[in-house]
Structure formats: C-alpha cells, structure tokens
C-alpha cells in the first residue's frame, strides 16, 4: 500500500511536466511560424516597393525628370547656336547681354535652359537658324525658335513674339559646375514669362 501511495504523485508530476513540454513546443512552433510569415510579408512588400520605384524611375531619376549634366564642350558660345539636349528635352542657350529680350525687361546674358515643349499644345519646338525676324515684325534678327505645329515663334530667350502660345517657353533650373559643365534640373520647370532673359545664369566657362 505504501509503494502505491508514493508512486501516484510522481506519475502525476511526470505527466504534468510532459504536458508542459508539449505546450512549450507548440508555442515555440507558433512563434516561429508567425515570425516567418512576417518576414515573408516584409520581403514581398519590399520587392513590390522596389519594383514600383524602379518602374516609375523614382529612385535616382536620370534623363528627363532628373538632373542632366551638359559637358563644357557642349555649352554654346554667347550668341552661338543653341545646343539641343535630347535626354533632358531642352535647349541650352547662351545669351549675349540682353539678347532675346524683345519686351524690354533687360538681362545681363548667360545660360538658359528652355524646355522644348511648346506651351501651346505641346509640340517640340526646334531652333530655326535661318528664320528672319522681319516675318514677325522684328527685322534684323536671324534665327529664332519656331514651332512647326501652329507657328508660335520665340526669341532666343524663349520669349513669345508670335503665334497662339499663351506664354513664353518654360525654363529649367540651371547651375554651373566648377569644371565648366552645367547641371540642368529637368524636374524643376518654371512657366515661361517676359522675364525669361533675367533668368539667365552667368557663365564664364
């Protein structure tokens, strides 16, 4: 009788201990599964976000929408032929003094980045080197921007002189680097206005 009485509590204690161990293993397994699920979700979300940023080119925009660098060799001379910068969709112009100021606002010359999208209906505006200003009542001037779609015509500073466009050509934020190259931020566009010539940035090469 004495043996049976002492073994019963030991057996109960062992069963309790085993039950505790089983429960602990279940908790550990559930925790592991939960952590794995969160990790998987985080990875999935990360790859989706990365794909989104990549698709819309938001991480490090290059070309149009970002900063485009124009080497010193491509910067026109004052009064020279404007440089077409295709990857930034702009014309780089080097104004001599108040050149292109057809409305009398003034200007000391320098570099201007003109967004080539026509403010009328969006056609690409080319530089027309042979265009005679006399055709639009500005005799003595040769070479202006002229839109092929509806004839809007702009001075060398992008100021509208003729046609249906509601305003001058838009300008982009421009800065000069120490090595004579130029950075144009094609994501920073300012609506064109009569003061376009005043926006020119001094350039000494």
Binding residues for ligand FES (CB under 6 A) = 118, 120-123, 147, 149-152, 163-165
What's the token pair of residue 61?
Answer: 């925009």
Return the number of the residue (156 or 160) whose C-beta is nearest ligand FES: 160
CB of residue 152 to ligand FES, shortest distance in Å: 4
Instruction: Give residue 119's Cα distance to chain centre.
Output: 19
Query: Which among 130, 123, 181 has a CA at the least distance from the CA of 152?
Result: 123
Instruction: Give, as one character, the DSSP assignment of residue 123.
Output: P
Q: Partners of 182 in the beta sheet?
A: 70, 176
Return the number of the residue (145 or 203) whose C-beta is nearest ligand FES: 145
Return the number of the residue (147 or 176) whose C-beta is nearest ligand FES: 147
CB of residue 128 to ligand FES, shortest distance in Å: 13
Residue appearing with tokens 């003109």: 114
**Phi, psi dihedral angles at 49 (to 5 degrees):** -60, -45
Instruction: Give, as one character, the DSSP assignment of residue 160.
Output: E
CB of residue 162 to ligand FES, shortest distance in Å: 10
Return the number of the residue (122 or 129) whose C-beta is nearest ligand FES: 122
Return the number of the residue (62 or 167) whose C-beta is nearest ligand FES: 167
CB of residue 190 to ligand FES, shortest distance in Å: 19
CB of residue 37 to ligand FES, shortest distance in Å: 55
Return the number of the residue (89 or 200) whose C-beta is nearest ligand FES: 89
CB of residue 145 to ligand FES, shortest distance in Å: 10
Locate the DSSP E strands across the chain.
67-70, 83-85, 90-96, 109-115, 127-132, 142-146, 153-154, 160-162, 171-176, 182-190
Instruction: Give residue 40's Cα distance to chain centre.
Output: 33
């Amino acid at each position: 009788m004495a043996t049976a009485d002492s073994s019963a509590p030991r057996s109960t204690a062992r069963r309790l201990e085993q039950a505790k161990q089983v429960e602990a293993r279940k908790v550990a397994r559930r925790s592991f599964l939960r952590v794995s699920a969160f990790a998987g979700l985080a990875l999935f979300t990360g790859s989706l976000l990365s794909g989104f940023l990549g698709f819309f080119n938001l991480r490090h925009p290059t070309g149009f929408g970002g900063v485009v660098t124009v080497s010193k060799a491509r910067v026109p001379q004052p009064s020279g032929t404007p440089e077409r910068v295709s990857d930034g969709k702009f014309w780089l112009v080097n104004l001599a003094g108040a050149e292109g100021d057809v409305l009398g606002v003034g200007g000391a010359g320098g570099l201007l980045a003109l967004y080539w999208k026509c403010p009328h209906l969006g056609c690409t505006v080319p530089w027309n080197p042979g265009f005679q200003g006399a055709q639009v009542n500005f005799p003595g001037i040769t070479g202006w921007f002229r839109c092929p779609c509806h004839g809007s015509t702009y001075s060398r500073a992008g100021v509208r002189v003729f046609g249906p466009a509601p305003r001058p050509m838009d300008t982009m934020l421009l800065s000069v680097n120490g090595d004579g190259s130029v950075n144009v931020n094609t994501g920073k566009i300012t609506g064109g206005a009569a003061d376009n010539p005043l926006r020119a940035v001094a350039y000494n090469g």
